[in-house]
Structure 1
Amino acid sequence: MRRAYAVLLALCCALAAALATAAPARAAPRTITNGTRFTDTSGDPVHAHGGGVIKVGSAYYWFGEDRDSDNTFRSVNAYRSTDLKNWEFRARVLTRSSASELGTAYIERPKVVYNAATGMFVMWMHKENGTDYGEARAAVAVSSTVDGSYTYRGSFRPLGQYMSRDLTTYVDTDGAGYLVSAANENYDLHIYRLTADYTGIAALVANPWPGGHREAPALFKRNGVYFMLTSGATGWNPNQQQYATATSLAGPWSSWSNIGDSTAYDSQTAYVLTVQGGSGTSYLYLGDRWGDSFGGTVDDSRYVWLPLTFPAATSMSMSWYPEVTVDTTAGTVTGTGATYRTLIARHSSKCVDVPSRSAWQGVAVVQYTCNGGTNQKWWFKDLGNGYSALLGRGSSLCLQENASGVTQEDCTGATAQQWSVVASGSFVTVRARASGACLDVSGASTAESAAVITYTCTSSTNQQWQRST
């Protein structure tokens, strides 16, 4: 009996030792679809708009805005992930009840930094009165745990005088904290040094681009070079993003250079996340495709995450990818390239089109004069089963067959969103997997905005399509 007990004890000790020395679970590479509403691990929409990410241990924490339908403040939400794909909702870390002045406020662009000296997590945000944008104040809240309740410390104008709207935070390699905020009706972009505990403003470091009219700043450092990425000030509507560089936050800073396309792929800067792993370090642009820009509200917004690349030490570029694969263990971010095509009806020479460039699900597609717009471009994504999904370049939604017509919907992989493409001379027919019917212009109409439907395959010219790049 004692021998058996000794053997069992030895096995237990060996198991305990193995568990104690086991490496933490490695996050597998994950693919993120751009231009979509992310969902958390419970299947609910991720509301972390205008937000930022902080890494604590092996986990990333994403903070951002959650708003009511009138865009007033509901809460700052916190989510946790190890792979940047699967986000667990942690808490509403700041709410309307956190302070009386938050009851009807706008709270925007929350960013959290950790102060190693005090052991506190410090949140900075832009605060308005919930009626207009006349307050232009910065606000601060603190917590002893990254995803615990944050204690609101109040709002103020930096150094008692400067307006503060869109903002971001940055902790340098020497531990000094900085705030960057849009001032002077967004015509200036101020760089401030924070106090030692990161809860106040110590000094104005620089105003490098007076009159520049920039907002939505994101600041990071790569190989000793600071990069400032910003958008123009056009409200909720996207515009040309630009960046500047310096080797000191006090300057001199370079002039602005364009990056991405003229609308930042229908997004606005929220944050640049450094993804550091065993194989290297990558930089991930986190952008918001604001719901207000396509007829919704902030909580209808979607996310655009893209890898940043660096042709030279002080230059940066950003390209569109419908999907991005992130490997947080390796520290790599790679984009999935795609060829987008227009579908031109043989009988009418018109293109399959999403009316009014809508990004909403449920919108029925039509034929319309070809104009090269992103609402007429489709990625035939090979599903590996003989079928393709047709993803819109402008909406990131999938063509779906319905009883009443063909609409764009959130991509789910359903058979109603799977299509086969069959060559017919120099044209193709596009056949729905669910019904076997063909993509068709209703009644063989040649009119603008005629409905695109599915119909029994007949080989007629209104079911023949030219795929053009």
Structure 2
Amino acid sequence: MRRNRRLLSLVAALALAGSAVVAVTAAPAQAAPVTIPNGTQFTDTYGNALHAHGGGVLKVGGYYYWFGENRNADNTFRAVSVYRSTNLRDWEFRNNVLTQSSAAELRVANIERPKVIYNAGTGRYVMWMHKENGTDYGEARAAVASSATVDGDYTYHGSFRPLGHMSRDITLYNDGGTAYMLSAADENRDLHLYRLTADYLQVATLVGNFWNDASREAPALFKRGSTYFLLTSGLTGWNPNQARYATAPSISGPWTTMTNVGDSTTFRSQSTFVLPIQGTSTTSYLYMGDRWAGAWGGPVNDSQYVWLPITFPSATTMSLTWYPTITVDTATGTITGQAPAYHRITNRNSGKVVDVLDMAVTDNAEVKQWSWNGGANQKWEFRDAGSGYFRIVNQHSGKCLDVADASTANHANVIQYGCGSGTNQQWQWVATGSYHQLRARHSGKCLDVVSSGTADGTDITQYTCGSGTNQQWTRTQS
């Protein structure tokens, strides 16, 4: 009898524990503020690279679900992957909700910019995306899939040209239960706004072509107060360009002309989504952008993420500022950016600093040592690249300290080059007494002033690490 009582107690305890687990899953604990680095690849909670490129976010209960592109090495479609998070930094992989095996036409295809909205009338989550045939870029079709659960397997409903029009970069917007799809049409010259049918699975009508011959893509549509905002990109392939936006008092217009926002390359990113973060104190708006690896010749899955707070100087204007890191508090709804800190990097042997010659802003510009003069070409940001490494980014040019051609040889030239994911642009700051060495990740070799020279213009290369003071550096915030 005593044994049975113990068994009953154990069963009760397990049942209570199980109910606690269910409660946590249904209502996650309130998230604490987190800091998120910019211009990096993200990893999920399992340590794997997070692939949600060109994607969008949907909040369900206490979780944010992030859907996006997951590509093969040849850039063809592998899956639409979904991750979830309570704080927007720690992302748990949930499922590949759409894969090559979901439908015959997806076995050789490109699927781009998947977006998901919830249909309260049907109780289904509906995904729209841009579909190509995987061999050329001529199909220009919209595709649709749906699921009864946000992170379950999605049923593919096929692809088509909306009302006969080409359809490429795409976004969705749920306006109080009425859903809209916006896509690039007519070889990306136009942007078409469509109202969807009540089940969200088809196009009901073309609301308007408000941006005829504007040549814009990568649309991100959101509403703040009583104003609708549309953020877009120009057409420069994988290379980044100037973002522009328009506003309107109604989704059906009239829309303003496009206005520039951010810098000339949108901080080397392209818009994919704007996420409202509603909390107890405020609602903030998060710009989500992709820094496409195609800009430096890499595959899509090497692309990086750029997330920035959007600020609003007025009810109908918006602004974007670069921050190397942002802090997000999903509980209060606040986003704050941390301004970059720039340093001069001084050689112990010569007392001179790392300098981009002639204040050049071009790739392959020479990096040498020079007397400190306070120029922006002598100031560097140590940007976290993960695993204890940094990208060292020049303030003047925005380009990275780079070992030319990823060489592993002694005396390989050190230059500036557009920042990418290469380990020849990642440096470890290693203490040696009260000074430090800068070790290149790909080669393990040290940043070195050639022949221990002390003159202005002496070259800087990489060389096997030793005890020489020409390989020892300090950094001072400037």
After superposition, the Cα gap between the structure-2 partners of 1:196 and 1:282, relative to the gap in structure 1 and judged at 3 Å, is: same
CA contact (8 A) 1:438 1:456 kept: no
Provide the rounded CA distance (Å) in 1 between the counterparts of 2:158 and 2:451.
63
CA contact (8 A) 1:388 1:420 kept: no
After superposition, the Cα gap between the structure-2 partners of 1:121 and 1:39, relative to the gap in structure 1 and judged at 3 Å, is: same
Q: Which residue of 2 aligns with 1:182?
A: 184
Provide the rounded CA distance (Å) in 2 between the counterparts of 1:269 and 1:348.
40
Residue 461 of structure 2 is aligned with which of 448, 451, 455?
Answer: 451
1:442 and 2:450 are equivalent in the alignment: yes
After superposition, the Cα gap between the structure-2 partners of 1:348 and 1:328, relative to the gap in structure 1 and judged at 3 Å, is: closer
Gaps of 5+ in 2: 440-444
Q: Which residue of 2 aligns with 1:254?
A: 256
Letter matched to residue 126 of structure 1: H
Letter matched to residue 165 of structure 1: R
Residue 92 of structure 1 is aligned with which of 96, 110, 128?
Answer: 96
1:417 and 2:424 are equivalent in the alignment: no
CA contact (8 A) 2:450 2:458 kept: no
After superposition, the Cα gap between the structure-2 partners of 1:374 and 1:43, relative to the gap in structure 1 and judged at 3 Å, is: farther
The Cα shift of 1:378 comes to 2.1
Q: Which residue of 1 aligns with 2:442?
A: none
After superposition, the Cα gap between the structure-2 partners of 1:271 and 1:210, relative to the gap in structure 1 and judged at 3 Å, is: same
Q: Which residue of 2 aligns with 1:362?
A: none
Provide the rounded CA distance (Å) in 2 between the counterparts of 1:248 and 1:75.
35
Letter matched to residue 171 of structure 1: N
Residue 41 of structure 1 is aligned with which of 21, 40, 45?
Answer: 45
Three-state SS of the structure 1 residue aligned to 2:101 is: helix
Letter matched to residue 451 of structure 1: T
Corresponding pairs, count: 433
Residue 170 of structure 2 is aligned with which of 159, 162, 167?
Answer: 167
Gaps of 5+ in 1: 359-364, 423-429
Provide the rounded CA distance (Å) in 2 between the counterparts of 1:59 and 1:73.
26
Three-state SS of the structure 2 residue aligned to 1:130 is: coil
Letter matched to residue 120 of structure 1: R
Within-5 A mapping of 1:24-35: 24-35=28-39
Residue 78 of structure 1 is aligned with which of 75, 82, 105?
Answer: 82
Provide the rounded CA distance (Å) in 1 between the counterparts of 2:216 and 2:257.
12
Q: Which residue of 2 aligns with 1:425?
A: none
Provide the rounded CA distance (Å) in 1 between the counterparts of 2:318 and 2:432.
39
Within-5 A mapping of 1:293-372: 293-341=295-343, 343=345, 351=355, 357=363, 367=368
Q: Which residue of 2 aligns with 1:361?
A: none
* RMSD of aligned residue pairs (Cα, Å): 4.1
CA contact (8 A) 1:36 1:396 kept: no
CA contact (8 A) 2:446 2:462 kept: no
The Cα shift of 1:468 comes to 8.9
Provide the rounded CA distance (Å) in 2 between the counterparts of 1:318 and 1:390.
22
Q: Which residue of 1 aligns with 2:436?
A: 431
Letter matched to residue 417 of structure 1: W
Letter matched to residue 27 of structure 1: A
Three-state SS of the structure 2 residue aligned to 1:451 is: strand
After superposition, the Cα gap between the structure-2 partners of 1:373 and 1:129, relative to the gap in structure 1 and judged at 3 Å, is: farther
After superposition, the Cα gap between the structure-2 partners of 1:466 and 1:336, relative to the gap in structure 1 and judged at 3 Å, is: closer
Residue 117 of structure 1 is aligned with which of 100, 117, 121?
Answer: 121
Provide the rounded CA distance (Å) in 2 between the counterparts of 1:102 and 1:348.
58
Provide the rounded CA distance (Å) in 2 between the counterparts of 1:344 and 1:203.
63
The Cα shift of 1:30 comes to 1.1
Three-state SS of the structure 1 residue aligned to 2:251 is: coil
1:284 and 2:286 are equivalent in the alignment: yes
After superposition, the Cα gap between the structure-2 partners of 1:37 and 1:404, relative to the gap in structure 1 and judged at 3 Å, is: farther
CA contact (8 A) 2:279 2:331 kept: yes
Provide the rounded CA distance (Å) in 2 between the counterparts of 1:368 and 1:146.
55
CA contact (8 A) 2:243 2:262 kept: yes
Provide the rounded CA distance (Å) in 1 between the counterparts of 2:389 and 2:239.
32
TM-score (norm 2): 0.79
TM-score (norm 1): 0.80
Same amino acid, percent of matched pairs: 54
CA contact (8 A) 1:122 1:199 kept: yes
Provide the rounded CA distance (Å) in 1 between the counterparts of 2:279 and 2:56.
19
